[in-house]
Amino acid sequence: MGKRFDLLVFDWDGTLFDSTRAIGDSVRAVCRALSIPEPEDEQARRGIGLDLAEAVRHAVPWLPEDRLPEFIERFGGEYRRRESSLGLYAGARELVERLHRAGFALGVATGKSRRGLDRVLSTTGLGRFFHASRCADECFSKPHPQMLLELIDEFDVSPERALMIGDTTHDLQMAANAVISALAVSYGAHSAERLKELTPLACFASVPALEGWLEANA
């Protein structure tokens, strides 16, 4: 059977990179430092995938707007201190390498900044497998479809030949807004129940399960 998709676009945090706990911990650490009430874990992870300002607004909706710049600056320091101890989900490297060998065009659409994404693509060694990427400081934040529409245009593929893979409702809504198919993974920021409400093609609790679906269906 021929390939169903030509372009596979991955979210980064919570999909390939095991960072959602560190992001939530960083949010709560900043709250403590600024004497702001801390969100529960699910709340702290609610905005993962959005640009940083919107992510903070989702995670700490009671934060006064005039304190947002200070919060963002402190968050960057807190997260970077944790990032060096983080890594890819088990099986993620092998999945990306296998998809690359199979001839798929691979992209990343992320709420990270360009500087942040380039840093982790370098430290993980995955940068050479991704042909293009879009970041939150280059495009409108998810769920706006700009990231996906630009990647589709760059690779010159039709929307029905592109697939988004992510761990948040923001990823799935972005795919819907771009009118492309999507897969969900529930081991990242958002629960399977929330993800399934947006009717992805399938939802997976592990990287091997995702790989099995891609091998059989993509």
Instruction: Give yes or no: residues 113 and 206 share one domain.
Output: yes
Domain that holds residue 64: 20-83
Written as six digits, the tokens of 16 are: 């390939």
Please name the residues in contact with 2: beta carbons below 8 A apart, sequence gap of 6 or more.
none
pTM to 2 decimals?
A: 0.94
Identify whether residues 127 and 187 lie together within a single domain.
Answer: yes
Residue 189 CA to residue 46 CA, distance in Å, equals 7
CA distance 173 to 200: 10
- Is 104 in the same domain as 37? no
**168-196 pLDDT tens trace:** 999 999 999 999 999 999 999 999 999 99
**Same-domain check for residues 168 and 211:** yes
- Do the domain assignments include residue 2? no
Q: Are residues 36 and 61 in the same domain?
A: yes
If asked whether residues 139 and 168 sit together in one domain, one would say yes
CA–CA separation, 94 and 61 (whole Å): 38
Question: What's the total number of domains in the chain?
Answer: 2
CATH of residue 197's domain is: 3.40.50.1000
Task: Encode pLDDT of 40-97 as tens digits.
Answer: 988 999 899 999 999 999 999 999 999 999 999 999 999 999 999 999 999 999 999 9
Sequence-distant (≥ 6) Cβ neighbours of residue 108 within 8 angstroms: 9, 10, 11, 12, 117, 121, 130, 132, 133, 134
d(CA 63, CA 75): 13
Whether residue 110 sits in one domain with residue 58: no
User: Could you report the per-residue pLDDT of 102-137, keeping only the tens digit for each?
Assistant: 999 999 999 999 999 999 999 999 999 999 999 999
Q: Are residues 152 and 64 in the same domain?
A: no
* Residue 1 forms part of a structural domain: no
Q: Are residues 130 and 60 in the same domain?
A: no
Contact 79, 115 (CB under 8 A): no
Co-location of 73 and 147 in the same domain: no
Q: Are residues 40 and 13 in the same domain?
A: no
